């Protein structure tokens, strides 16, 4: 199938590359000419494990990138919209969605054959039916359901595991305005024959995505709230508590041979310095705003956001227990990405922590295996030095703060023991054994 994908960020590029790998012919469209040029040379503009290899195999063959939306839509039968849907502080900002819908609609005016337009971006329930469809109809002068189809197909990939998640999905949700639209989208996804597919309306598909993200965010804030109480009560470690909670056989089922299954969602039941990224914070806030507008305030989700906003400050509080002032304090900040496996720093808990340290005069020694380039755009170079080697970041510091659960940070106990005097370690992700480091502080301890 010939498919155009508009927006080549994490979702658009990964979808395009994976669909090309699965045998489709893909035209990736983006406004950003530099991104387009990179993609055509087989250079991924973002970091995602396995992306470079798949891109190099498909770029210039089954996948091309372009800034020319008209030709890409004309020459394809399906267009996926994968542009950003930021939260503007009071509601979801649909300006990119509206703009792309209008541009596609204008092309459809001149297109004779049936075309399917699919919203892949995360949009608030009702957006595809009440915003995208009318814009397409107005710009094309044609009728949805007759001349073209419209679908909503939420994307569930996780940054850091995006290729794996797209290639081996757990479910595919096909929301369509009619059977014909869903049939066409089903044809595109026929390359995933063994995956559970849910056929539903656009509005339900939109709500599934928000509900899924809200549930995971709730699990994280729940774990953090329990952790904060453990710390306040004293004598209880949230790591032990949440392990005991997870041992419930409904969360970690026991197999007939006595072994445990550890579903990956149990990783959301661990305390830490909070969730970030381009999805959870903005999606939960957008749903709250939508609920409020609909006269249904969402008290639980409000609390989820509130707990999360306070969580990075727990790390600073643990530092303050040992240092009366941050002025001149030499601190290694380990992990700048919002989670391991990605270079994405959007809404990373590292942002408030590093900003507070810098504002109070600390001297920050930063290390992240892949997100340094992105972080530097945020923090600049004043008061902060970025290191390529973990060992260099530790030299001469009085405190070490872990903010991202990068696997390589498990080497820290062996490295810290070599240092004299021993720095304080603040484990914002509770990833190290608290006994493995001489001076240890952790969230929920």
Q: Which is nearer to ligand NAD, 12 or 423 (CB)?
A: 12
Question: Out of 4, 5, 30, 161, which residue is the one contacting ligand NAD (CB under 6 A)?
Answer: 30
CB 171: neighbour CB atoms within 10 A? 12
Q: Report d(CA 337, CA 165) in Å as an integer.
A: 19
CB 13: neighbour CB atoms within 10 A? 27
Q: Which is nearer to ligand NAD, 114 or 156 (CB)?
A: 156
Question: Out of 4, 58, 85, 365, which residue is the one contacting ligand NAD (CB under 6 A)?
Answer: 85
Determine if 347 is a binding residue for ligand NAD (CB under 6 A): no
Question: Out of 3, 4, 5, 12, which residue is the one contacting ligand NAD (CB under 6 A)?
Answer: 12
Residue numbers 116-155 binding ligand NAD by CB under 6 A: 121-122, 155
Q: Which is nearer to ligand NAD, 155 or 225 (CB)?
A: 155
Residue numbers 149-208 binding ligand NAD by CB under 6 A: 155, 157, 159
Q: Which is nearer to ligand NAD, 100 or 301 (CB)?
A: 100
In sequence order, what are the residues at sequence separation of 6 or more whose Cβ sits closer than 8 angstroms to the Cβ of residue 43? 52, 55
Q: How far is the CB of 119 from ligand NAD (least distance, A)?
A: 9
* Cα angle, residue 310 at apex, residues 307 and 315 outer, rounded to 5°: 125
Determine if 96 is a binding residue for ligand NAD (CB under 6 A): yes
User: Which token pair is 2?
Assistant: 């010939």
Q: Check if 279 is active-site.
A: yes
Q: Are 416 and 429 in contact (CB under 8 A)?
A: no
Question: Out of 7, 16, 44, 349, which residue is the one contacting ligand NAD (CB under 6 A)?
Answer: 7
Question: What is the sign of the dihedral through the CA atoms of 148, 149, 154 and 157?
Answer: negative
Question: Out of 3, 4, 10, 128, which residue is the one contacting ligand NAD (CB under 6 A)?
Answer: 10
Catalytic residue chosen out of the listed positions 28, 151, 202, 279: 279
Alpha helical stretches, state H, 189-279: 202-233, 238-246
SS3 content of the chain, % helix, strand, coil (to 5): 45, 15, 40
Q: How far is the CB of 180 from ligand NAD (least distance, A)?
A: 25
What character string, x for contact with ligand NAD (CB under 6 A) and - otherwise, covers 34-73?
-x--------------------------------------
Determine if 280 is a binding residue for ligand NAD (CB under 6 A): no
Residue whose C-beta lies closest to ligand NAD: 9
**In this structure, what is the dihedral angle of CA atoms 121, 124, 125, 129, given to the nearest 10 degrees?**
-60
Length of the chain: 445
Q: Are 416 and 437 in contact (CB under 8 A)?
A: yes
Alpha helical stretches, state H, 294-439: 299-320, 350-359, 372-379, 390-394, 412-416
| Three-state secondary-structure class, residue 3 | strand
Residues that bind ligand NAD (CB under 6 A): 6-12, 29-32, 35, 82-85, 96, 99-100, 121-122, 155, 157, 159, 278-279
Active site residues: 279
């Amino acid at each position: 199938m010939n498919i155009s994908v508009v927006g080549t960020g994490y979702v658009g590029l990964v979808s395009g590359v994976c669909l090309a790998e699965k045998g489709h012919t893909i035209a990736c469209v983006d406004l950003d000419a530099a991104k387009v040029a990179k993609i055509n040379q087989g250079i991924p503009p973002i970091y995602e494990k396995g992306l470079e290899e798949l891109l190099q195999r498909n770029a210039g063959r089954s996948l091309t990138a372009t800034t020319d939306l008209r030709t890409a839509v004309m020459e394809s039968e399906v267009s996926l919209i994968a542009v950003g849907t930021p939260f503007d502080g009071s509601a979801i900002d649909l300006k990119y969605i509206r703009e792309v819908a209008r541009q596609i609609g204008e092309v459809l005016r001149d297109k004779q054959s049936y075309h399917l337009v699919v919203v892949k971006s995360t949009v608030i329930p009702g957006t595809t039916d009440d915003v995208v469809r009318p814009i397409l109809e107005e710009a094309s002068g044609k009728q949805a359901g007759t001349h073209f189809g419209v679908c909503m197909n939420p994307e569930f990939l996780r940054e850091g595991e995006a290729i794996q998640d797209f290639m081996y999905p757990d479910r595919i949700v096909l929301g369509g305005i009619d059977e014909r639209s869903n049939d066409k989208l089903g044809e595109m996804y026929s390359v995933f024959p063994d995956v559970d597919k849910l056929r539903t309306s656009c509005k339900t598909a939109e709500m599934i995505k928000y509900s899924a993200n809200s549930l995971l965010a709730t699990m994280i804030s729940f774990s953090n709230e329990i952790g904060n109480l453990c710390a306040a009560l004293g004598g209880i470690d949230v790591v032990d508590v949440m392990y005991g909670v997870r041992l419930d056989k409904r969360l970690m089922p026991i197999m007939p041979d006595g072994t445990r299954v550890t579903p990956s969602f149990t990783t959301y039941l661990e305390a830490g310095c909070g969730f970030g990224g381009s999805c959870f914070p903005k999606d939960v806030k957008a749903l709250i705003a939508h609920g409020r507008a609909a006269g249904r305030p969402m008290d639980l989700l409000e609390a989820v956001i509130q707990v999360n906003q306070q969580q990075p400050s727990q790390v600073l509080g643990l530092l303050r227990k040992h240092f009366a002032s941050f002025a001149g304090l030499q601190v290694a900040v380990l992990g700048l990405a919002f989670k391991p496996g990605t270079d994405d720093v959007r809404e990373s808990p590292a942002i408030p922590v590093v900003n507070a340290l810098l504002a109070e005069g600390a001297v920050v020694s930063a290390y992240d295996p892949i997100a340094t380039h992105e972080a530097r755009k945020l923090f600049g170079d004043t008061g902060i030095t970025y290191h390529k080697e973990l060992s260099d970041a530790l030299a001469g510091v009085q405190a070490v703060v872990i903010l991202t659960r990068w696997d390589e940070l498990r080497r820290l106990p062996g490295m810290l023991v070599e240092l004299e005097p021993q720095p304080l370690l603040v484990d914002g992700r509770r990833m190290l054994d608290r006994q493995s480091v001489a001076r240890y502080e952790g969230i929920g301890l």
